[in-house]
Each structure stands twice: as structure tokens, then as C-alpha cells.
Structure 1
Amino acid sequence: MLTPLLAGLGLGFSLIVAIGAQNLFVLRQGIRREHLVAVVAVCALSDAVLIVLGVSGVGIVLQAIPWLIVVVRWAGAAFLIGYGLLAARRAVRPSGATLRVDVDTPASPSSPDAGGTTVQTRPARTSLAATLLTCLALTWLNPHVYLDTVFLLGSIASTHGEGRWAFALGACLASLVWFSALGFGARFLGRWLDTPRAWRVLDALIAVVMFAIALSLVLPH
């Protein structure tokens, strides 16, 4: 069973390691150090559910109702455009989505007059419920997720016969490892990226990617 497990692990990484709406959201939450464990858990569990559905043969059933993918595609595009507009607004007007924090800086013995108040600008915190709803929407309203996990992974898993569930386990492990590494790795980057300029650049990148993905969903294939 080691061979199908490694095959699922490799294919899972190849599909998930790419710049996308979900990955950028996890990266942003990691830099913010906000509700990160919950976000990683939701992403990994969602992928696991979709992978299990694909391996169990649900993809074959979904092929019989193509209108469902169309509905998801347009709903996903609408959500991504809305999320992209919010990111663009944060990039253009960061003061509208930030929280000013006054930090008392004590005077040092060598510089007794150096003490005072330093104003730091940080992104305003988002509630756990709002964060999880956004995470779920970015995951389940993305048609590419169904194409990659339910259809593609499910089809390839079926070629492994009795080892298909080991293949599925490998793909699930890839998802868990990737989201954990991305999110918690971003926490360490936060010390260098947690600046107003860095947030504006990141939000601008998020807006561009969201608009590009939304456009790819609605254009004729």
C-alpha cells in the first residue's frame, strides 16, 4: 500500500501547490496570526471530504448533473469578485481596514528622552465566524476544487484498485502538510511583512488573483 500512498501524496502536492484564492487566504491569515488553526483545519478537512467523495465515485454521479457545476462556477465568480473588491479597497485605502495601536516605548538609561508613544498600524481583526465563512466559501465555491479533487483525484485513484484508499490518504496528507506549512510558515514571515506597505502589496496581489480566477470561471471554456 506504500506505492499508492506515495502516488496520492505526490499528486496531491502537485495540485495544491499553486497560487490560488484559498492559498492566498491561508497566507494572509498566517501573516495576521488570526484564527490560523481553525483556517488550516477547515481547508484540510474540506479537501479530505472532497477527496473521499471523489474516491467513492461521487464524481461519476456529478457528471450526470452538469448544471450543478455551472451554478457553482457563477456563484464562485460572484464571490471572488466581491472578495477581490474588498482586497482592492484595502490596498487603496488601508486606513479603512486597519487598527491603530498605541504602544508605550520606555526610555532607555542611555537615552532618557527617547521614551514615548509609538503608533503601530495593524489590520483590524475579523471575527472567527466571518473568517470561517470566508474560508468555506473560497473552498466550496471554487469549481477548480471539484475538478482537481472529486474528478481528477477520484479518477486516478480508481486505477489503483484496492489501493485507492491509500492513494486518498496520501492526497489528504498532502493537503494537511501544505496548508499547515503555508499558514504557520507565514506566521514567521509576519515579523518582516507586518507593515502597512506590505499589507497593501499583499492585498493588491490578492485582488488581482481573485479577479483573474473569477474571469477564468465565467469565460467560455
Structure 2
Amino acid sequence: MTAALAGFALGFSLILAIGAQNAFVLRQGLLRSHVFAVSLTCALSDAILIAAGVAGFGALTQAIPGLEFAMRLLGAAFLIWYGARTLQSAWRGGQAMQAGQAAGSLRKALLTCLALTWLNPHVYLDTVILLGAVSAQYDNRLAFALGAMTASFVFFFSLGYGARFLAPLFARPRAWQVLDVIIGLVMWAIAAKLLLM
């Protein structure tokens, strides 16, 4: 039980900070668009990465020095593009976006979600390497992994479905513009951090 609680606490703390993936899930939750599929995709992706880390996959990134650099470049490029797209949406602002409004196809939402997850080098550093390293301290690494996986499911479904409580605030187009500006700037800040590492 101690290992599971430690895994839950560490896993939850690593995904709590606002990032590209979390901002996307929040936005989908506000739009009430594909919330279940997006939340499930994020949580399952995390579960795969956690399992890989606990199984020792973190050693691969250390064994191939260029892999981390390539992941950083790909991640930064995607975040710059996505941030620009979000800031352009904020600038236009003419779209009367409202909670409940369709936000694109399920395919597009899932592809964006997968790109924000799998092209983010921080997910490998945090989820694979850090969680993998910490799990080695516990005799019951499976319990640690299950605790961390549970944290991902709790977090993403809470964020996706909890976003609707903010719906009255986001009934105003100006609030959507502000959110898009914040999301765009967060994407660019993360991209800059990746490029300057």
C-alpha cells in the first residue's frame, strides 16, 4: 500500500502543473467535446509510459544520447505551431465559442492529444525516467506503477469533466480569447524551455 500511495502522490504531482496536454484537456472539457475519449487517451498514454519507465525503459534514453535532443526538437516544433494556432484563434476572436459547441472531429481531437502527449520530451523525462528511477526504491514496483497510473486517470478525468463548472465564465467570447492567449503563451514558454535546455 505504501508503494501505491507513493506512486499516486508522485504521479499526481508530476501532471498537476499546467502544460500543453492539460491545457488541451481543459479546453475540450469546456467545449464538452470528446471529453471521455481525450481524457482516456491521456490517461492510457501515461499508463503506457509509466509501465515503460518502471520496466526500465528510461535506460534507453540514456543509452542513445541523440534521442533526447531529437525529442526536444520535435516537441518544440509542435508546441510552436500549436501555440501560434491558438494565439491566432484568440486574435480572430470572432468565433462565438461557447461551452457545448462542437470543437472539431474526434479524429482531430485525438491526433492533437496524442501529439501533445507523445511529442513532449518532458513526458519522457518525468514519466519514464523519473518515475522509473523512483520506482526502483520500492520492492513492490507494480503497486507503485498502479498508483501512478491511477493518479493519471483521476487527474485527466477530473480535469476534463470538472471543466464544465467553469462553463458560465466561458459563456463569454472574451473569456475564450483570454484562455487561448494563456494556452498559446504556455505552449511557447514550454517550447522555449525545450530549445534552451
* TM-score normalized by the length of structure 1: 0.85
- Following superposition, the deviation at residue 19 of structure 1 comes to 1.0
CA RMSD of aligned residues (A): 1.6
CA distance in 2: counterparts of 1:31 and 1:186, whole angstroms: 5
Cα deviation, 1:19-72, whole Å, max 9, x if unaligned, reads: 111110000000000000000000000000000000001111221012112111
Query: 8 Å contact 1:121–1:195 — kept in the other structure?
Result: no
- Please state which structure has a larger fraction of its residues in helix: 2
Match for residue 146 of structure 2 among 152, 169, 184: 169
CA distance in 1: counterparts of 2:3 and 2:189, whole angstroms: 34
Structure 2: which 5+ residue stretches go unaligned? Answer: none
Which residue of 2 is the match for residue 179 of structure 1? 156
Percent identical across equivalent pairs? Answer: 57
Amino acid at match of 1:217: L
Q: Secondary structure at the match of 1:159?
A: coil
Query: 8 Å contact 1:122–1:196 — kept in the other structure?
Result: no
- Following superposition, the deviation at residue 194 of structure 1 comes to 2.6
- Following superposition, the deviation at residue 124 of structure 1 comes to 5.8
Amino acid at match of 1:204: V
Moved over 2 A (4+): 120-125
Amino acid at match of 1:3: T
CA distance in 1: counterparts of 2:52 and 2:14, whole angstroms: 17
- Following superposition, the deviation at residue 99 of structure 1 comes to 5.8
> Which structure has the larger Rg over C-alpha atoms?
1
* TM-score normalized by the length of structure 2: 0.95
Structure 1: which 5+ residue stretches go unaligned? Answer: 101-119
Task: Report the count of equivalent residues.
Answer: 197
Match for residue 139 of structure 1 among 117, 121, 140: 117
CA distance in 1: counterparts of 2:18 and 2:34, whole angstroms: 21
Which residue of 2 is the match for residue 207 of structure 1? 184
Matched, 1:158 2:136: yes
CA distance in 2: counterparts of 1:61 and 1:146, whole angstroms: 11
Query: 8 Å contact 2:99–2:167 — kept in the other structure?
Result: no
Query: 8 Å contact 2:29–2:35 — kept in the other structure?
Result: yes
